[in-house]
Structure 1
């Protein structure tokens, strides 16, 4: 742990502690994900602070493990290049941005469903409206993680990477593009059994791209260049 940069290390610790806290709270009948997860903004349980807290909550050990593995693997490199302040800002800003995109997508879905129900005059008699709205809850650091992947791909585009199950290395830029296309396809497929916030992942990458391009322009004006 001593070799991990400060912000990356603290992000890992906070996420693990929050996950353990969630398990303990569940034993007392308290669902922290319900309180700290990101609810749909029209729901009664929504709170603006959830745009930050949701990215420190996870739906299970596997969800937590893969997100934190990516933070450790790629986040520490970005922190070493950018420094702790810029990296922390990037992580939080992209996580918030991912949440905003997810809210927008959920609103479009909500309006689509509402129109469909109105067109056949069935209303929401099967499930109360408030309960339906509060079911739209997002948890996880994946939006910020996908932004980290994008950042690594933009800073080190030609870095070879071994990706299971491919038997040969691919460049980081193709790895990132491939992940983005998979998320876009999965999001547009709108599989009813898919509970992954694909557009939140894409939202994190979009905000990450905007930030990196802004910093590149700003840093070049100050005499700094990225390869």
Structure 2
């Protein structure tokens, strides 16, 4: 079993504290720390970092911290603590930014329909904050599916270290491509060079279709994987020296 490295140990400790402390203190830090849509009044730029330490459930934090430990340990041993943490936060922040950009594109497409129907920007935001409306202009111009989509984009914040962990996962696959991995629901070991692309393609499929199960930020996963791939590939190609 891999011995836990210093950087990963501290990341796990902080994640666990942020997950447990609000429950004991009976406080909700979601509006402050989760990553909100930029037009939402609760949005703050610090959330691109803070959302990485927020998790929605025990299973959520368990799988993310397990992935961080299992795939991040050999990377930190190879790169050193400082470079691993730089990589981890770069992947996590990049995941949040790409997730926001995709959401903003989807939001803007529907938002224009509101404006074309004669609503002012302030009226649109007021409707989205309420989450429902009987305004005849909206009913005549926006489908229920479109309204549900834009309302979800505006009101649902993102939490979790999944984007950063996907970056770690891709880097692991790049450096240890022949390592055998397995899923709980598919326990047959598969080499990382096949396993990881299949996972990412799955996120791309579910992110672009209506078949996603649950409230999963698929494009945050893809964003973290992309940033992780760029950094890890550059370091490997240029023989980045560990320290």
TM-score, with structure 2 as normaliser: 0.81
Aligned to 1:153: 173
Q: Give the aligned partner of residue 62 of structure 1.
A: 59
Q: How does 1:199-218 map to 2 (within 5 A)?
A: 199-218=219-238
Deviations, residues 90-135 of structure 1 (Å, cap 9, x unaligned)? 1001000000011101101211221233455577679634565751
Task: Please show how residues 100-179 of structure 1 align to structure 2 within 5 Å.
Answer: 100-120=97-117, 128-130=127-129, 132=151, 135-179=155-199
**Aligned mates of 1:161, 1:194 — CA distance in 2:** 24
CA distance in 1, matches of 2:116, 2:212: 21
Tell me, which stretches of 5 or more residues in structure 1 are unaligned?
none
Normalising by structure 1, we get a TM-score of 0.86
| Secondary structure of residue in 2 paired with 1:169 | strand
Corresponding residue number in structure 2 for 1:182: 202
Quote the offset at 1:167 in angstroms. 4.8
CA contact (8 A) 1:106 1:136 kept: no
Q: 1:24: how far off?
A: 2.6
Distance change in 2, residues 1:189/1:86 (3 Å):
same
Matched, 1:197 2:217: yes
Change (3 A) 1:39 1:126: closer
Which whole-Å CA distance do the structure 1 matches of 2:38 and 2:210 have between them? Answer: 21
Q: How many aligned residue pairs are there? A: 219
Compute the RMSD of aligned alpha carbons. 2.6
Q: Which residue of 1 aligns with 2:22?
A: 22
Greater displacement, 46-55 / 208-217: 208-217
**3-state SS of the aligned residue for 2:89?**
helix
How does 1:91-102 map onto structure 2 within 5 Å?
Answer: 91-102=88-99
> What SS does the corresponding residue of 1:219 show, helix, strand or coil?
coil
Q: For residues 35 and 201 of structure 2, what CA distance do their matches in structure 1 show?
A: 25
Report if the CA contact (8 A) 1:45-1:134 is conserved.
no
* 1:176-200 deviation line (CA, Å, top 9, x unaligned): 0011011000100145874211000
Distance in 2 of aligned mates of 1:165 and 1:38: 30
Shift of 1:3: 3.0
Give the Å deviation of 1:159. Answer: 1.2
